[in-house]
Structure 1
Amino acid sequence: MTAPRKPFFPADRSIRADDSPLEIRRLGLVDYQQAWELQAELAAQRAADEIGDQVLILEHPSVYTAGKRTQPEDRPTNGQPVVDVDRGGRITWHGEGQLVAYPIIRLADPVDVVDYVRRLEEAVIEAVRHVGVVEAGRIDGRSGVWVPASDTRRDRKVAALGIRITRGVTMHGLALNCTNTLDFYDHIVACGIDDADVTTLSLELGRQVTVEEMTPPLLDALEAALAGRLKVADHTFAEAPDPTKGLPRAPRQG
Protein backbone atom coordinates (compact mmCIF):
# COMPACT_ATOMS: atom_id res chain seq x y z
CA MET A 1 0.00 0.00 0.00
CA THR A 2 1.36 3.39 -0.89
CA ALA A 3 1.61 5.55 2.22
CA PRO A 4 0.51 9.21 2.03
CA ARG A 5 4.13 10.16 2.65
CA LYS A 6 7.49 8.45 2.96
CA PRO A 7 8.19 6.72 6.28
CA PHE A 8 10.28 8.62 8.83
CA PHE A 9 12.88 5.84 8.84
CA PRO A 10 14.60 3.89 6.07
CA ALA A 11 12.79 0.63 5.29
CA ASP A 12 15.66 -1.44 6.68
CA ARG A 13 15.79 0.38 10.03
CA SER A 14 14.05 -0.89 13.14
CA ILE A 15 10.96 1.01 14.20
CA ARG A 16 11.53 -0.03 17.82
CA ALA A 17 13.27 2.29 20.27
CA ASP A 18 15.72 -0.42 21.34
CA ASP A 19 17.05 -3.68 19.94
CA SER A 20 16.61 -5.98 22.92
CA PRO A 21 14.84 -9.28 22.16
CA LEU A 22 11.05 -9.23 22.14
CA GLU A 23 9.49 -11.07 25.06
CA ILE A 24 6.74 -13.34 23.73
CA ARG A 25 3.93 -14.12 26.16
CA ARG A 26 1.56 -16.90 25.11
CA LEU A 27 -1.51 -16.37 27.27
CA GLY A 28 -4.04 -18.81 25.80
CA LEU A 29 -7.74 -17.95 26.11
CA VAL A 30 -8.18 -14.62 27.93
CA ASP A 31 -11.28 -12.53 28.61
CA TYR A 32 -11.14 -9.33 26.53
CA GLN A 33 -11.54 -6.91 29.44
CA GLN A 34 -8.86 -8.73 31.40
CA ALA A 35 -6.47 -8.60 28.44
CA TRP A 36 -7.19 -4.89 27.91
CA GLU A 37 -6.37 -4.13 31.55
CA LEU A 38 -3.16 -6.15 31.27
CA GLN A 39 -2.16 -4.23 28.16
CA ALA A 40 -2.71 -0.90 29.91
CA GLU A 41 -0.62 -2.03 32.87
CA LEU A 42 2.20 -3.29 30.68
CA ALA A 43 2.12 -0.18 28.45
CA ALA A 44 2.52 2.06 31.51
CA GLN A 45 5.44 -0.07 32.70
CA ARG A 46 7.02 0.04 29.24
CA ALA A 47 6.65 3.82 29.06
CA ALA A 48 8.46 4.05 32.41
CA ASP A 49 11.21 1.69 31.14
CA GLU A 50 10.34 -0.83 33.85
CA ILE A 51 9.98 -3.64 31.30
CA GLY A 52 11.12 -4.34 27.75
CA ASP A 53 9.11 -4.76 24.56
CA GLN A 54 6.57 -7.57 24.65
CA VAL A 55 4.12 -9.30 22.34
CA LEU A 56 1.02 -10.90 23.84
CA ILE A 57 -0.32 -13.90 21.89
CA LEU A 58 -3.81 -15.04 22.82
CA GLU A 59 -7.38 -15.82 21.90
CA HIS A 60 -10.55 -14.23 23.28
CA PRO A 61 -13.89 -15.79 24.15
CA SER A 62 -16.63 -14.46 21.87
CA VAL A 63 -16.93 -10.67 22.20
CA TYR A 64 -17.72 -7.56 20.15
CA THR A 65 -15.38 -4.59 20.58
CA ALA A 66 -16.10 -1.08 19.36
CA GLY A 67 -13.30 1.32 18.47
CA LYS A 68 -13.45 5.09 18.68
CA ARG A 69 -15.10 5.57 15.26
CA THR A 70 -17.91 3.04 15.73
CA GLN A 71 -21.29 4.35 14.58
CA PRO A 72 -24.69 3.40 16.03
CA GLU A 73 -25.65 1.49 12.88
CA ASP A 74 -22.52 -0.67 13.19
CA ARG A 75 -23.58 -2.24 16.46
CA PRO A 76 -24.84 -5.83 16.78
CA THR A 77 -28.41 -6.76 16.00
CA ASN A 78 -28.30 -9.95 18.08
CA GLY A 79 -28.43 -8.30 21.50
CA GLN A 80 -24.89 -9.34 22.43
CA PRO A 81 -22.89 -6.94 24.64
CA VAL A 82 -20.17 -4.71 23.24
CA VAL A 83 -16.94 -3.57 24.89
CA ASP A 84 -16.18 0.05 23.98
CA VAL A 85 -12.43 0.29 23.68
CA ASP A 86 -9.73 2.95 23.22
CA ARG A 87 -8.28 1.71 19.92
CA GLY A 88 -8.87 3.22 16.50
CA GLY A 89 -11.34 1.92 13.95
CA ARG A 90 -14.93 0.78 14.26
CA ILE A 91 -16.56 -2.44 15.45
CA THR A 92 -15.26 -5.97 15.16
CA TRP A 93 -15.63 -9.39 16.75
CA HIS A 94 -13.14 -11.64 18.51
CA GLY A 95 -13.53 -15.31 19.32
CA GLU A 96 -11.84 -18.66 19.68
CA GLY A 97 -9.93 -19.81 16.61
CA GLN A 98 -8.72 -16.26 15.95
CA LEU A 99 -5.04 -15.49 16.56
CA VAL A 100 -4.67 -12.18 18.41
CA ALA A 101 -1.32 -10.40 18.80
CA TYR A 102 -0.88 -7.33 20.99
CA PRO A 103 2.59 -5.75 20.67
CA ILE A 104 3.50 -3.63 23.68
CA ILE A 105 6.55 -1.84 22.29
CA ARG A 106 8.16 1.56 22.53
CA LEU A 107 8.46 3.11 19.08
CA ALA A 108 11.54 5.02 18.01
CA ASP A 109 11.31 8.82 17.82
CA PRO A 110 9.80 10.42 15.89
CA VAL A 111 6.83 8.06 16.23
CA ASP A 112 5.55 6.96 12.82
CA VAL A 113 2.06 5.52 13.24
CA VAL A 114 1.51 4.89 9.52
CA ASP A 115 4.77 2.97 9.15
CA TYR A 116 3.98 0.91 12.27
CA VAL A 117 0.59 -0.13 10.87
CA ARG A 118 2.14 -0.97 7.49
CA ARG A 119 4.74 -3.15 9.20
CA LEU A 120 2.04 -5.04 11.10
CA GLU A 121 0.21 -5.61 7.83
CA GLU A 122 3.42 -6.73 6.12
CA ALA A 123 4.01 -9.31 8.84
CA VAL A 124 0.52 -10.76 8.41
CA ILE A 125 0.82 -10.79 4.61
CA GLU A 126 4.12 -12.66 4.89
CA ALA A 127 2.65 -15.20 7.31
CA VAL A 128 -0.54 -15.95 5.38
CA ARG A 129 1.28 -16.17 2.06
CA HIS A 130 3.67 -18.60 3.74
CA VAL A 131 0.80 -21.04 4.38
CA GLY A 132 -0.70 -20.68 0.91
CA VAL A 133 -2.93 -17.60 0.64
CA VAL A 134 -0.56 -16.19 -1.96
CA GLU A 135 -2.82 -13.38 -3.22
CA ALA A 136 -3.29 -11.78 0.20
CA GLY A 137 -2.53 -8.06 0.20
CA ARG A 138 -3.84 -4.58 0.88
CA ILE A 139 -6.77 -2.46 -0.23
CA ASP A 140 -5.70 1.16 -0.53
CA GLY A 141 -7.82 3.20 1.88
CA ARG A 142 -8.49 0.36 4.31
CA SER A 143 -6.39 -1.20 7.03
CA GLY A 144 -5.94 -4.91 7.52
CA VAL A 145 -5.03 -7.79 5.24
CA TRP A 146 -7.35 -8.82 2.43
CA VAL A 147 -7.95 -11.56 -0.13
CA PRO A 148 -9.04 -10.25 -3.55
CA ALA A 149 -12.41 -10.99 -5.12
CA SER A 150 -12.72 -14.10 -7.24
CA ASP A 151 -15.61 -15.71 -9.13
CA THR A 152 -18.73 -14.87 -7.09
CA ARG A 153 -16.81 -13.88 -3.95
CA ARG A 154 -16.14 -10.28 -2.99
CA ASP A 155 -12.95 -8.87 -1.49
CA ARG A 156 -12.68 -10.30 2.00
CA LYS A 157 -10.70 -9.45 5.11
CA VAL A 158 -8.65 -12.17 6.76
CA ALA A 159 -6.97 -10.00 9.41
CA ALA A 160 -8.07 -6.83 11.18
CA LEU A 161 -5.88 -4.15 12.77
CA GLY A 162 -6.61 -1.59 15.45
CA ILE A 163 -4.00 0.20 17.52
CA ARG A 164 -3.43 2.83 20.17
CA ILE A 165 -0.16 4.63 20.92
CA THR A 166 0.33 6.42 24.24
CA ARG A 167 3.60 7.98 25.38
CA GLY A 168 5.23 6.31 22.39
CA VAL A 169 4.12 2.81 23.43
CA THR A 170 1.80 0.64 21.34
CA MET A 171 -1.31 -1.21 22.50
CA HIS A 172 -3.89 -3.43 20.79
CA GLY A 173 -2.76 -4.85 17.46
CA LEU A 174 -4.04 -7.48 15.06
CA ALA A 175 -6.48 -10.38 14.83
CA LEU A 176 -5.96 -13.11 12.23
CA ASN A 177 -8.91 -15.35 11.39
CA CYS A 178 -7.78 -18.98 11.46
CA THR A 179 -10.55 -21.48 12.35
CA ASN A 180 -13.10 -19.16 13.98
CA THR A 181 -16.76 -19.01 13.05
CA LEU A 182 -17.96 -16.09 10.93
CA ASP A 183 -21.53 -16.21 12.26
CA PHE A 184 -21.09 -13.26 14.60
CA TYR A 185 -20.04 -10.96 11.74
CA ASP A 186 -23.54 -11.34 10.28
CA HIS A 187 -24.93 -9.16 13.07
CA ILE A 188 -22.61 -6.14 12.72
CA VAL A 189 -21.20 -3.90 10.01
CA ALA A 190 -17.68 -5.20 10.58
CA CYS A 191 -15.14 -2.34 10.61
CA GLY A 192 -17.89 -0.16 9.08
CA ILE A 193 -17.50 -1.93 5.73
CA ASP A 194 -20.60 -3.24 3.94
CA ASP A 195 -19.18 -3.73 0.42
CA ALA A 196 -16.78 -6.56 1.30
CA ASP A 197 -16.74 -9.70 3.40
CA VAL A 198 -14.76 -11.52 6.09
CA THR A 199 -12.95 -14.83 5.70
CA THR A 200 -10.66 -17.26 7.51
CA LEU A 201 -7.48 -19.03 6.50
CA SER A 202 -9.29 -22.35 6.84
CA LEU A 203 -11.97 -21.28 4.36
CA GLU A 204 -9.42 -19.94 1.91
CA LEU A 205 -7.25 -23.07 1.97
CA GLY A 206 -9.93 -25.73 2.41
CA ARG A 207 -8.28 -27.22 5.48
CA GLN A 208 -7.96 -26.51 9.19
CA VAL A 209 -5.40 -23.76 9.72
CA THR A 210 -5.12 -23.42 13.47
CA VAL A 211 -3.93 -20.68 15.78
CA GLU A 212 -1.11 -23.01 16.83
CA GLU A 213 0.04 -23.43 13.22
CA MET A 214 0.00 -19.71 12.50
CA THR A 215 1.67 -18.46 15.68
CA PRO A 216 5.32 -19.24 14.73
CA PRO A 217 5.23 -17.77 11.19
CA LEU A 218 3.37 -14.69 12.41
CA LEU A 219 5.82 -14.06 15.25
CA ASP A 220 8.81 -14.56 12.94
CA ALA A 221 7.39 -12.14 10.38
CA LEU A 222 6.36 -9.61 13.03
CA GLU A 223 9.81 -9.51 14.60
CA ALA A 224 11.41 -9.16 11.15
CA ALA A 225 9.03 -6.41 10.05
CA LEU A 226 9.55 -4.35 13.21
CA ALA A 227 13.33 -4.78 12.87
CA GLY A 228 13.35 -3.75 9.21
CA ARG A 229 14.54 -7.11 7.87
CA LEU A 230 11.13 -7.68 6.27
CA LYS A 231 10.56 -4.53 4.25
CA VAL A 232 7.14 -3.09 3.56
CA ALA A 233 6.28 -3.78 -0.08
CA ASP A 234 3.44 -2.68 -2.34
CA HIS A 235 0.89 -5.50 -2.11
CA THR A 236 -2.05 -3.29 -3.09
CA PHE A 237 -4.60 -4.92 -5.40
CA ALA A 238 -7.54 -2.49 -5.09
CA GLU A 239 -8.67 0.77 -3.57
CA ALA A 240 -11.82 1.62 -1.63
CA PRO A 241 -13.20 4.35 0.63
CA ASP A 242 -11.76 4.65 4.13
CA PRO A 243 -14.61 3.59 6.48
CA THR A 244 -13.38 5.91 9.25
CA LYS A 245 -12.65 9.06 7.24
CA GLY A 246 -14.47 12.13 8.48
CA LEU A 247 -16.32 10.31 11.25
CA PRO A 248 -16.57 11.87 14.71
CA ARG A 249 -15.61 9.88 17.74
CA ALA A 250 -18.63 7.92 18.82
CA PRO A 251 -20.06 8.47 22.30
CA ARG A 252 -19.36 5.63 24.71
CA GLN A 253 -22.35 3.40 25.34
CA GLY A 254 -23.84 2.56 28.68
Structure 2
Amino acid sequence: MKQVKLTYLNKGNISYEDALAFQQEVRKIIIELKQLKIDTSANNLLILCEHQPILTFGSSAKESELFIPRGKLSDVGLDHLDIRRGGAITFHGEGQLVGYPILDLENFKTDVRWYIKSIAEVIIQTLNDYGLESYYDEEFPGVWLKDHATAKKKKICAVGVHLSRWVTNHGFAFNINNSLEYYNYFVPCGITQEDRTVTTLQNELNRTIDMEEVKEKILFHFSEVFNTKLIT
Protein backbone atom coordinates (compact mmCIF):
# COMPACT_ATOMS: atom_id res chain seq x y z
CA MET A 1 0.00 0.00 0.00
CA LYS A 2 1.50 3.34 -1.03
CA GLN A 3 2.05 6.07 1.54
CA VAL A 4 -0.79 8.60 1.54
CA LYS A 5 -0.62 12.20 2.76
CA LEU A 6 -2.55 12.96 5.95
CA THR A 7 -3.17 16.49 7.19
CA TYR A 8 -3.56 16.86 10.96
CA LEU A 9 -5.76 19.54 12.52
CA ASN A 10 -5.83 20.15 16.26
CA LYS A 11 -9.23 21.78 16.83
CA GLY A 12 -8.86 22.04 20.61
CA ASN A 13 -12.20 22.38 22.41
CA ILE A 14 -14.85 22.79 19.71
CA SER A 15 -18.61 22.35 19.81
CA TYR A 16 -19.86 19.02 18.50
CA GLU A 17 -22.09 20.76 15.94
CA ASP A 18 -19.21 22.87 14.58
CA ALA A 19 -16.97 19.81 14.30
CA LEU A 20 -19.72 17.88 12.50
CA ALA A 21 -20.34 20.73 10.04
CA PHE A 22 -16.60 20.95 9.34
CA GLN A 23 -16.36 17.20 8.72
CA GLN A 24 -19.31 17.31 6.34
CA GLU A 25 -17.84 20.21 4.38
CA VAL A 26 -14.45 18.49 4.00
CA ARG A 27 -16.11 15.24 2.98
CA LYS A 28 -18.26 17.08 0.42
CA ILE A 29 -15.13 18.56 -1.17
CA ILE A 30 -13.41 15.15 -1.35
CA ILE A 31 -16.51 13.56 -2.93
CA GLU A 32 -16.70 16.36 -5.50
CA LEU A 33 -13.04 15.76 -6.40
CA LYS A 34 -13.74 12.05 -6.79
CA GLN A 35 -16.68 12.78 -9.09
CA LEU A 36 -14.37 14.90 -11.24
CA LYS A 37 -11.86 12.02 -11.26
CA ILE A 38 -9.28 14.17 -9.46
CA ASP A 39 -6.71 12.43 -7.23
CA THR A 40 -7.67 12.76 -3.54
CA SER A 41 -4.56 11.24 -2.00
CA ALA A 42 -3.49 14.66 -0.67
CA ASN A 43 -6.89 15.51 0.82
CA ASN A 44 -7.12 13.05 3.73
CA LEU A 45 -7.55 14.67 7.12
CA LEU A 46 -7.41 13.75 10.81
CA ILE A 47 -9.03 16.04 13.37
CA LEU A 48 -8.32 15.67 17.10
CA CYS A 49 -10.44 17.67 19.52
CA GLU A 50 -12.54 17.79 22.67
CA HIS A 51 -16.23 18.69 23.09
CA GLN A 52 -18.49 20.17 25.72
CA PRO A 53 -20.68 17.46 27.36
CA ILE A 54 -23.12 15.98 24.83
CA LEU A 55 -24.91 12.70 24.10
CA THR A 56 -25.05 11.70 20.44
CA PHE A 57 -27.66 9.23 19.23
CA GLY A 58 -26.54 6.86 16.47
CA SER A 59 -28.67 4.74 14.14
CA SER A 60 -29.29 2.00 16.71
CA ALA A 61 -29.94 4.29 19.72
CA LYS A 62 -33.07 3.57 21.77
CA GLU A 63 -34.94 6.02 23.96
CA SER A 64 -35.22 3.23 26.57
CA GLU A 65 -31.43 3.44 26.99
CA LEU A 66 -31.79 6.99 28.29
CA PHE A 67 -32.49 7.18 32.02
CA ILE A 68 -33.91 10.72 32.03
CA PRO A 69 -36.11 12.48 29.44
CA ARG A 70 -34.24 14.28 26.66
CA GLY A 71 -35.81 17.52 27.83
CA LYS A 72 -34.11 17.10 31.22
CA LEU A 73 -30.60 16.47 29.88
CA SER A 74 -29.72 20.16 30.00
CA ASP A 75 -30.51 20.10 33.74
CA VAL A 76 -27.53 17.79 34.27
CA GLY A 77 -25.25 19.71 31.89
CA LEU A 78 -25.74 17.59 28.78
CA ASP A 79 -26.64 18.61 25.24
CA HIS A 80 -27.94 15.97 22.78
CA LEU A 81 -28.05 15.36 19.03
CA ASP A 82 -29.21 12.67 16.57
CA ILE A 83 -26.47 11.89 14.06
CA ARG A 84 -25.75 9.68 11.04
CA ARG A 85 -23.34 7.06 12.31
CA GLY A 86 -23.57 3.49 13.46
CA GLY A 87 -24.01 2.69 17.13
CA ALA A 88 -26.21 3.69 20.04
CA ILE A 89 -25.82 6.56 22.53
CA THR A 90 -22.30 7.91 22.92
CA PHE A 91 -20.94 10.53 25.32
CA HIS A 92 -18.49 13.29 24.43
CA GLY A 93 -17.03 15.73 26.93
CA GLU A 94 -13.99 17.62 28.14
CA GLY A 95 -11.05 15.37 28.94
CA GLN A 96 -12.07 12.89 26.26
CA LEU A 97 -10.00 12.85 23.07
CA VAL A 98 -12.19 12.67 19.97
CA GLY A 99 -10.73 11.76 16.59
CA TYR A 100 -12.38 12.39 13.23
CA PRO A 101 -10.53 10.82 10.29
CA ILE A 102 -11.93 12.09 6.99
CA LEU A 103 -10.37 9.63 4.56
CA ASP A 104 -11.05 8.52 1.04
CA LEU A 105 -10.77 4.78 1.60
CA GLU A 106 -10.06 4.33 -2.11
CA ASN A 107 -6.62 5.70 -1.15
CA PHE A 108 -6.31 2.99 1.50
CA LYS A 109 -8.57 -0.07 1.38
CA THR A 110 -12.27 -0.20 0.53
CA ASP A 111 -13.22 -2.39 3.46
CA VAL A 112 -15.31 -1.00 6.32
CA ARG A 113 -14.32 -3.75 8.78
CA TRP A 114 -10.65 -3.19 8.00
CA TYR A 115 -11.12 0.53 8.56
CA ILE A 116 -12.84 0.16 11.94
CA LYS A 117 -10.30 -2.40 13.13
CA SER A 118 -7.47 -0.12 11.98
CA ILE A 119 -8.85 2.77 14.05
CA ALA A 120 -9.05 0.40 17.01
CA GLU A 121 -5.47 -0.73 16.40
CA VAL A 122 -4.27 2.88 16.69
CA ILE A 123 -5.87 3.06 20.15
CA ILE A 124 -4.59 -0.39 21.15
CA GLN A 125 -1.01 0.58 20.29
CA THR A 126 -1.39 3.89 22.14
CA LEU A 127 -2.62 2.08 25.25
CA ASN A 128 0.28 -0.33 24.94
CA ASP A 129 2.60 2.69 25.23
CA TYR A 130 1.06 3.24 28.67
CA GLY A 131 1.56 -0.39 29.66
CA LEU A 132 -2.08 -1.36 29.19
CA GLU A 133 -3.18 -4.44 27.25
CA SER A 134 -6.38 -3.90 25.29
CA TYR A 135 -8.39 -5.45 22.48
CA TYR A 136 -11.03 -4.70 19.88
CA ASP A 137 -14.42 -6.34 20.43
CA GLU A 138 -16.45 -6.93 17.25
CA GLU A 139 -19.63 -7.73 19.19
CA PHE A 140 -19.39 -4.50 21.18
CA PRO A 141 -17.41 -2.24 18.78
CA GLY A 142 -14.70 -0.33 20.55
CA VAL A 143 -11.48 -0.82 22.48
CA TRP A 144 -11.68 -2.66 25.80
CA LEU A 145 -9.50 -3.50 28.78
CA LYS A 146 -9.97 -6.63 30.88
CA ASP A 147 -9.70 -6.32 34.64
CA HIS A 148 -8.21 -9.68 35.61
CA ALA A 149 -8.97 -9.10 39.29
CA THR A 150 -12.72 -8.60 38.79
CA ALA A 151 -13.13 -10.23 35.33
CA LYS A 152 -14.91 -7.05 34.22
CA LYS A 153 -14.48 -5.75 30.68
CA LYS A 154 -13.99 -1.99 30.60
CA LYS A 155 -14.60 0.12 27.53
CA ILE A 156 -12.08 2.91 27.12
CA CYS A 157 -12.71 3.98 23.52
CA ALA A 158 -15.88 4.03 21.41
CA VAL A 159 -15.70 3.70 17.62
CA GLY A 160 -18.51 4.78 15.28
CA VAL A 161 -18.19 5.69 11.61
CA HIS A 162 -20.23 6.73 8.60
CA LEU A 163 -19.20 6.40 4.94
CA SER A 164 -20.41 8.05 1.77
CA ARG A 165 -18.79 7.07 -1.56
CA TRP A 166 -16.00 5.50 0.55
CA VAL A 167 -15.26 8.83 2.28
CA THR A 168 -15.38 8.57 6.08
CA ASN A 169 -16.52 10.77 8.90
CA HIS A 170 -17.14 10.41 12.65
CA GLY A 171 -14.48 8.23 14.29
CA PHE A 172 -13.43 7.49 17.88
CA ALA A 173 -13.96 8.82 21.40
CA PHE A 174 -11.04 7.93 23.69
CA ASN A 175 -11.65 8.36 27.43
CA ILE A 176 -8.60 10.09 28.89
CA ASN A 177 -9.32 12.42 31.84
CA ASN A 178 -13.09 12.86 31.44
CA SER A 179 -15.59 12.45 34.25
CA LEU A 180 -17.60 9.22 34.23
CA GLU A 181 -20.51 10.89 36.05
CA TYR A 182 -22.42 11.51 32.81
CA TYR A 183 -22.53 7.77 32.07
CA ASN A 184 -25.07 7.46 34.89
CA TYR A 185 -27.73 9.02 32.64
CA PHE A 186 -27.72 6.48 29.80
CA VAL A 187 -26.68 3.00 28.72
CA PRO A 188 -23.24 3.54 27.13
CA CYS A 189 -23.30 2.26 23.53
CA GLY A 190 -26.31 0.09 24.35
CA ILE A 191 -24.28 -2.25 26.57
CA THR A 192 -26.30 -3.67 29.46
CA GLN A 193 -24.20 -6.68 30.49
CA GLU A 194 -23.23 -6.63 34.17
CA ASP A 195 -19.66 -7.68 33.44
CA ARG A 196 -19.09 -4.64 31.20
CA THR A 197 -18.45 -1.05 32.23
CA VAL A 198 -16.57 2.08 31.12
CA THR A 199 -13.26 3.54 32.25
CA THR A 200 -10.72 6.26 31.49
CA LEU A 201 -6.96 6.25 31.06
CA GLN A 202 -6.74 8.45 34.14
CA ASN A 203 -8.61 5.86 36.22
CA GLU A 204 -6.44 3.01 34.98
CA LEU A 205 -3.14 4.78 35.68
CA ASN A 206 -4.29 6.70 38.80
CA ARG A 207 -2.93 9.99 37.51
CA THR A 208 -3.92 12.89 35.28
CA ILE A 209 -2.79 12.24 31.72
CA ASP A 210 -1.05 14.82 29.52
CA MET A 211 -3.51 15.20 26.61
CA GLU A 212 -0.88 16.58 24.24
CA GLU A 213 1.27 13.52 24.90
CA VAL A 214 -1.68 11.26 24.00
CA LYS A 215 -2.24 13.21 20.78
CA GLU A 216 1.40 12.73 19.78
CA LYS A 217 1.11 8.99 20.35
CA ILE A 218 -2.16 8.82 18.39
CA LEU A 219 -0.58 10.66 15.45
CA PHE A 220 2.45 8.37 15.45
CA HIS A 221 0.41 5.17 15.51
CA PHE A 222 -2.16 6.47 13.04
CA SER A 223 0.63 7.20 10.56
CA GLU A 224 2.02 3.70 11.09
CA VAL A 225 -1.26 1.78 10.91
CA PHE A 226 -2.60 3.70 7.91
CA ASN A 227 0.81 4.17 6.25
CA THR A 228 0.47 7.94 5.95
CA LYS A 229 2.86 10.85 5.65
CA LEU A 230 1.78 13.32 8.34
CA ILE A 231 1.37 17.00 7.45
CA THR A 232 0.81 19.49 10.27
Q: TM-score, normalised by structure 2?
A: 0.86
Distance 2:28 2:207 in 1: 41
1:40 corresponding residue in structure 2: 24
* Structure 2 letter corresponding to 1:124: I
Q: Distance in 1 between matches of 2:59 and 2:113?
A: 18
Name which of 139, 142, 165 aligns with 1:141: 139
Distance 1:121 1:154 in 2: 20
SS at match of 1:220: helix
Instruction: Tell me how far apart the structure 2 counterparts of residues 76 and 85 of structure 1 sit (CA, whole Å).
Output: 20
CA distance in 1, matches of 2:51, 2:63: 24
The alpha carbon displacement at 1:30 in A equals 0.6
Which shifted more, 103-112 or 197-206? 103-112
> What are the Cα deviations for residues 92-128 of structure 1, in whole angstroms up to 9, with x where unaligned?
1000000111001100277200000010000100001
Equivalent positions of 1:63-142 (< 5 A) are 63-77=54-68, 79-80=72-73, 81-108=79-106, 111-133=110-132, 135-142=133-140
Answer 1 or 2: which has greater strand percent: 2
Q: Structure 1, unaligned stretches of length 5 or more?
A: 1-12, 229-254
TM-score normalised according to structure 1 size: 0.78
Taking the aligned partners of 2:103 and 2:83, their CA distance within structure 1 comes to 19
User: Which amino acid is the alignment partner of residue 24 of structure 1?
Assistant: Y
Q: Give 1 or 2: higher helix fraction.
A: 2
Please tell me whether the aligned partners of residues 27 and 58 of structure 1 are also in contact (alpha carbons under 8 angstroms): yes
SS where residue 22 of structure 1 aligns? strand
Aligned counterparts of 1:217 and 1:154: Cα–Cα separation in 2: 27
Deviations 1:61-102, CA, capped at 9 Å, x for gaps: 000001011012112427214200001100010000001110
1:122-160 residue CA offsets vs partner (Å, 9 max, x unmatched): 010000111221x21123422110001332362110000
Of 27, 30, 37, the residue aligned with 2:14 is 30
Unaligned runs of 5+ in 2: 34-39, 74-78
Q: How many positions carry a matched residue from both structures?
A: 211
CA distance 1:191–1:128, change in 2 (3 Å): same
Q: 1:114 to 1:140 in 2, by over 3 A?
A: closer
2:216 equivalent in structure 1: 216
**In the alignment, is the contact (CA less than 8 A) between 1:102 and 1:174 conserved in 2?**
yes
- Report the identity percentage: 31
| 2:200 aligned partner | 200
Q: Which moved more, 1:99-108 or 1:77-86?
A: 77-86
